[in-house]
Structure formats: structure tokens, C-alpha cells
Amino acid sequence: MSITKDKVVQFHYALHDADKTVEETTRGGSPMAYLHGHNNMIKGLEQAMEGKAVGDTFSVTLAAKDAYGEHQPDSEQRIPVKHLQGAKKWRPGMVGTVQTEQGQRQVTVVKVGKFMVTVDNNHPLAGKELTFDIDILDIRDATAEEVAHGHAHGAGGHHH
Ligand code: ZN
């Protein structure tokens, strides 16, 4: 079985930047699962997954614009600290989550006040060329419910 639309894929990955600094990895923990063909991952990565099989290991390098976008200047914004989710106490450099009309968004804390916090709306990995080292662990057909929801359920996927 290879990866095509409406397959649920489990994989391990390590993500590093051009300096080989590892930014994120699932190795040593639970793998990630996603539903292929539903824009659940950044586009360049999903395209690289197409047609791969269980046991395949490969690397894909994406320019910033194909990964998390170029770093946009003037993206700082002051928001009420209560709108920032992910920690109780904030320090500059921490990454939090805010709800927007387009869904959840990761932001980086720049300055912390008592009630207001200044955040940078760029994704923490914006402006970086990124390489994903991928191991494909499992591929299965999605259930009708998963296809209807547009995401994977179960291990590594959504729980609700
Ligand atoms: Zn669901």
C-alpha cells in the first residue's frame, strides 16, 4: 500500500534547519498520524509523502516559503495576556497559541506586561529553510468518519 488520498499515515520525523539544529522530533516518543490529501500538513511535505510506502525513509528540504513562510516584518501585536494559551507564566521567546478566525495560530512572545503581552505573529519557524527526515511506519485506509472530519483519529491523530 502506498500513500494516496484518504490514507492515514503514521510516521516519525525530525525537523532541522540549515544549521542542522533539530527543531522538533517525534523520535523517542509517539509517532504522528495524519490523513493524506486533506491539507493537514504543510504542502511541500504532503507532496513529498505522496506514493511512499511503509519502511520508506527519506528527507525533504523546503525553502521557507514552502514551509512556514517568509519572516514578515512588523508582525508584532499587543493582545490581552488571557488570550494567550499554552502556559501559566510567560517569558519572552516562549511560543503560545491564540485562537483566530482561521483557527489556532502559534505566536512568539516578545514582551510580557501585567495584562497585555506583545507577540510576534510569525510562526516560530518562519523564514527558515527546513529539512524533514521522515520514516513511514504505517499506512491504512481512512474510515468514512475520518474522511468526513478531514483528519486522522486514534494514535497520533485527533481524539474527541
Ligand atoms: Zn474527527
Rounded alpha-carbon distances, angstroms, from residue 57 to 22, 38, 97? 17, 22, 31
Q: What is the pLDDT of residue 125?
A: 87
Rounded alpha-carbon distances, angstroms, from residue 109 to 54, 67, 96, 101, 117? 39, 21, 7, 20, 7
Tell me, in angstroms, the distance from the centre of ligand 1 to residue 107's CA. 25
Residues 99, 136 share a domain: no
137: number of Cβ within 10 Å: 17
Q: Is 37 helix (H, G, I), strand (E, B) or coil?
A: coil
Where are the alpha helices (H) located in the chain, listed in sequence order?
Answer: 43-49, 144-149
Tell me, in angstroms, the distance from the centre of ligand 1 to residue 160's CA. 7
Q: How many domains does the chain have?
A: 2
- Quick: pLDDT tens for 24-80: 999 999 999 999 999 999 888 999 999 999 999 999 999 999 888 898 888 999 999
Domain that holds residue 116: 76-120
Tell me, in angstroms, the distance from the centre of ligand 1 to residue 85's CA. 22
Residues 93, 24 share a domain: no
Tell me, in angstroms, the distance from the centre of ligand 1 to residue 49's CA. 22
CATH of residue 81: 2.40.10.330
Q: Does the pLDDT value for residue 103 go beyond 90?
A: no
Tell me, in angstroms, the distance from the centre of ligand 1 to residue 159's CA. 7
Q: What is the pLDDT of residue 147?
A: 97
Q: Does the pLDDT value for residue 156 go beyond 90?
A: no
Those residues with Cβ within 8 angstroms of residue 51's Cβ, 6 or more apart along the chain or in another chain: 2, 3, 4
Tell me, in angstroms, the distance from the centre of ligand 1 to residue 149's CA. 5
Q: What is the pLDDT of residue 114?
A: 92
- Please check whether residue 104 lies inside any domain of the structure: yes
Tell me, in angstroms, the distance from the centre of ligand 1 to residue 148's CA. 8
- Quick: pLDDT tens for 116-155: 999 998 888 889 999 999 999 999 999 999 999 999 999 8
Q: What is the pTM of this model?
A: 0.76
